[in-house]
Structure 1
């Protein structure tokens, strides 16, 4: 990172400034959270003039480090009211990193309803009026227009109609290697914050960019080789391994067997139609239908795990990329739908309208609970999604997420924490991930501390999913995750580095090689805890207390089939997570 680009939407100016010394060794989530804490008033309205959108690349993003193309986007969430970092793969991260720029978008246009486009390249940055043809349309129509205007090799960070309409479930979209609008910094509603700034898209052209300087190339190369070897030999991440062959949806059958696959708005932990929407079913459909269908697809250049897919229609033409675990579960098991063509269409609509698939699927599940559709009714689920695009009153309710929908329709079984939908692991059947959901600084978020690794997959050791003493486990995973999110690596490298010490060493060494630091593996915990502590201080100043670090009440008294368990982790244990 060489410069901070400040984009003032109030006076429509762009200016560059040197990076302060205190940010010198920060990247990704560490940087977005630091700037948010330093510059955003914790009590500000998320859609008001005092919130900001910070776009930062990880430390190793833009280098030859494997599977390192992530980009972080931060600010205050309109969905949760907490601090937020949401990240994405795709093309933008590496391009922005090679330009050496972190973007801070602040203020709001004086002309309400007016949208702009930010163009960034090696020569600087400028704001351009957004053409009418780019607005109020689906992103499958808008992105080709942008590529036609700016060239096929740019990276695009943009919002859909949900972001333009300031819906709290609006995500921020990044183009994939084939320029689909399919990679999302989806969670927390940061697309609405970008929309509130009047910013439709950021176009990044890295032609002639200086690239990412590496202070110690020998250390970097040594670390890169160690990490590549770990990723290529671990059963989960290697070529032909679980993720490469079946994608993240390989977890559908695994979680269903464990009785922890949330079904029909979290009323059960097992779905009778799981096999029909599994990673194995996706893999088989891609082979059988042929055409463009494929598994083992990469979401960004340099990814050697390649867990994405391109799902075909029956005639072999493309339906959507990507059908991944959380999205298939949200529209599948949680809505009682066992048809991949239906889940694929619902995911495609999320990509098109610019909303997070997890929040959208859980919202439809809540709507089904409210009687707006029957569980399993895929046709009606698609109709409900179209309401978001139409901008109807119902569309605005659904577009503001599961908690808003449950409140409007009086649904008691509302699976959210701090206003954000719980993802695809039932906390009554897997207690550690429940602790992470409850205590994460950013609302329910499995990626904040993925204890599923030891609890279900026996990666990084083996933990009993039903044991309640999980404060230390969740704390350690949350701290390590904060560092991975700051490094620019995909979180999926965790599978390999948890089991293979040399891989962990390699990750740290690549960071040291880029920065010229001498961090050790022991520093990972310290750095992660510093990031989490800073985020928690922001939330406390915004009015959050330990009482907000709790799961929904119904999970304490509704027993979950098939194990017939409740979430019985005590409040004392939950409060221990941040006792550091």
Structure 2
């Protein structure tokens, strides 16, 4: 079931979505944007569209299938964007039979609207009382009116002000907005459409239908067994969360420190997963927390402050890094507060942290000054001139301050793995259609963790092939509604991948092979690259900033040396 919402006349129509049959998640969101949005349209204009789509397995109860995708032309990169998010929304929309919600046009009045989805249908409603609220207060108002069991996705004041790094915050299993469609400015697009929130209530719904339920259950068991067997998904992530990577990357010399000037941080242990878990347990928080229905990896957590009050949740490695090692800060409480403020104002914690690091590089504030960094995030929340600069992203911040070492690709900040010491992910940063994005082809698997084989992270050989294969596979996984972290298991345990294929086939009555599904991933990348090319983002943009090739990174004293000619072959398939 598809719905179209035209904000110009406030109409809501059911749409059979005939051209989009057989697609889900990223494959669906990118197909809609590629088909219906002109690449030359302004990202905040009437021609852009914001889509909310579920994955092929959403609502089924499949292991770790609680993800969903938001899509639009990005105000940050100027290209096509899919932003993937967990929480309760994807599962509930799947149970409600929603394949896609397409929001188009611009409203004539500046009133906060909400999209309400329930068993009776989809409704567009005015809620002017939400205007000017940040995300936590918005969630509280909506829960007060519609009940605690609904799923919510909403924007804060950053989205209302159309800041290019604005995200959309989604509620987790406890009803707290700790999950973000973080990257690419989807919150700004949502704000331009006048949509403050989307809520879903799946009360009264029945189990989604299966063409072959026994075969689906058998496939689900294969994937579950793989996830519960692999040491990364069954031990490391539940115990320490993604922040377990801090010490691993620092030891490998690939933890970007003080705006990518070093690969090791002397305070890594103070902010790493082991210390994070110990602090959480000491204060009565929770590790091993599932962020969405059906999650059996449980890498999320609930972090409390010294007074025992919940401060933040879903405290990811990338956020601990962006406000930690990247800024030269080793105080977990200060880092957690910065993460909470970003979640509340509604901005991407990666781009915000990197932008602050660029301001530190310029000497605006000092590296290691966490209180000054916290103050800058408050400026962003108040939309002061400096806050507006930071809210426009790291690349804009670098231009304003005249900084040369600005770690961005296609306008989006590079995340928590230095591409000189983790060269496979450097290839992904340089070439992905999404702007710098580690999740688009997570080469850290073979480069650092020894998952799915081993490719020396310090040498250029084999990195293009590694990134290419992972980008193709990731585009498929992002289309299913599965969490990307299932890749850790299925790269080493073939039965897990078999289970995914069997679940998709049994859900819809298909007879597709893994080759067919990988072809879906290739087609996603082809369509995204075609859109970007028409938007003016050609092959020449597929590279890293020059300082990565010219400045040697301590402690290994290496540069990024994968030849540009090889980068240009990533999408030769």
Say which SS state the counterpart of residue 36 (structure 1) adopts. helix
The residue aligned with 1:142 is 138
The residue aligned with 1:107 is 105
1:373 aligns with 2:365: yes
**Distance (whole Å) between structure 2 residues aligned to residue 225 and residue 274 of structure 1:** 38
The residue aligned with 2:459 is 467
Residue deviations 1:237-270 (CA, integer Å, cap 9, x gap): 11xx000000000000000000000000111111
The residue aligned with 1:484 is 477
1:418 aligns with 2:414: no
1:399 aligns with 2:397: no
1:10 aligns with 2:4: no
**Distance (whole Å) between structure 1 residues aligned to residue 446 and residue 392 of structure 2:** 34
The residue aligned with 2:294 is 302
Instruction: Tell me which of 259, 269, 275 is aligned to 1:275.
Output: 269
The residue aligned with 1:341 is 333
Q: Counterparts of 1:312-331 in structure 2 under 5 Å? A: 312-331=304-323
Instruction: Tell me which of 523, 535, 559 is aligned to 2:516.
Output: 523
Say which SS state the counterpart of residue 181 (structure 1) adopts. coil
Shift of 1:135: 2.1
**Distance (whole Å) between structure 1 residues aligned to residue 233 and residue 393 of structure 2:** 33
Shift of 1:212: 2.3
**Distance (whole Å) between structure 2 residues aligned to residue 99 and residue 284 of structure 1:** 39
Paired residues of 2:138 and 2:154 also in contact (CA < 8 A): no
**Distance (whole Å) between structure 2 residues aligned to residue 359 and residue 297 of structure 1:** 25
Say which SS state the counterpart of residue 569 (structure 1) adopts. coil
The residue aligned with 2:173 is 177
Paired residues of 1:479 and 1:524 also in contact (CA < 8 A): no
The residue aligned with 1:537 is 530
**Distance (whole Å) between structure 2 residues aligned to residue 191 and residue 305 of structure 1:** 28
**Distance (whole Å) between structure 1 residues aligned to residue 107 and residue 309 of structure 2:** 42
The residue aligned with 1:311 is 303
1:130 aligns with 2:130: no
Gaps of 5+ in 2: none
1:52 aligns with 2:45: no
The residue aligned with 1:563 is 556
Residue deviations 1:145-194 (CA, integer Å, cap 9, x gap): 11011111111111111100000000011111111111001000011000
Q: Counterparts of 1:187-198 in structure 2 under 5 Å? A: 187-198=183-194
Shift of 1:137: 2.2
Shift of 1:32: 0.1
Say which SS state the counterpart of residue 236 (structure 1) adopts. helix
The residue aligned with 1:86 is 83
Shift of 1:355: 0.7
- Which stretch shifts more, 537-546 or 27-36? 537-546
**Distance (whole Å) between structure 1 residues aligned to residue 332 and residue 174 of structure 2:** 22
**Distance (whole Å) between structure 2 residues aligned to residue 115 and residue 313 of structure 1:** 33
Say which SS state the counterpart of residue 187 (structure 1) adopts. coil
Gaps of 5+ in 1: none
The residue aligned with 1:72 is 69
**Distance (whole Å) between structure 2 residues aligned to residue 178 and residue 205 of structure 1:** 15
Shift of 1:438: 0.2
- Moved >3 Å (runs of 4+): none
1:245 aligns with 2:239: yes
Shift of 1:286: 1.4
Q: How many residues are aligned here?
A: 571
Say which SS state the counterpart of residue 233 (structure 2) adopts. coil
Paired residues of 2:61 and 2:293 also in contact (CA < 8 A): no
Paired residues of 1:99 and 1:211 also in contact (CA < 8 A): no
Paired residues of 2:291 and 2:314 also in contact (CA < 8 A): no
Paired residues of 1:157 and 1:203 also in contact (CA < 8 A): yes
The residue aligned with 2:224 is 228
The residue aligned with 1:389 is 381
Say which SS state the counterpart of residue 556 (structure 1) adopts. helix
- Which stretch shifts more, 293-302 or 522-531? 522-531
**Distance (whole Å) between structure 1 residues aligned to residue 287 and residue 108 of structure 2:** 47
The residue aligned with 2:501 is 508
Say which SS state the counterpart of residue 231 (structure 2) adopts. coil
Say which SS state the counterpart of residue 2 (structure 2) adopts. strand
Residue deviations 1:403-443 (CA, integer Å, cap 9, x gap): 01111111110000000000000000111100000000010
Paired residues of 1:100 and 1:211 also in contact (CA < 8 A): no
**Distance (whole Å) between structure 1 residues aligned to residue 67 and residue 139 of structure 2:** 20
**Distance (whole Å) between structure 2 residues aligned to residue 248 and residue 77 of structure 1:** 27
**Distance (whole Å) between structure 2 residues aligned to residue 523 and residue 460 of structure 1:** 21
**Distance (whole Å) between structure 2 residues aligned to residue 215 and residue 393 of structure 1:** 56
Paired residues of 1:297 and 1:308 also in contact (CA < 8 A): yes
Shift of 1:307: 0.2
**Distance (whole Å) between structure 1 residues aligned to residue 157 and residue 386 of structure 2:** 15
The CA RMSD over aligned residues, in Å, is 1.0
Paired residues of 1:476 and 1:525 also in contact (CA < 8 A): no
TM-score between the two structures when normalised by the length of structure 1: 0.97
The residue aligned with 1:154 is 150
Shift of 1:211: 4.0
Residue deviations 1:497-542 (CA, integer Å, cap 9, x gap): 0000101100111111112111222223211111100111111111
The residue aligned with 1:40 is 37
Instruction: Tell me which of 116, 119, 124 is aligned to 2:116.
Output: 119
1:451 aligns with 2:449: no
Paired residues of 2:49 and 2:72 also in contact (CA < 8 A): yes
**Distance (whole Å) between structure 1 residues aligned to residue 213 and residue 513 of structure 2:** 17
Paired residues of 1:265 and 1:365 also in contact (CA < 8 A): yes
TM-score between the two structures when normalised by the length of structure 2: 0.98
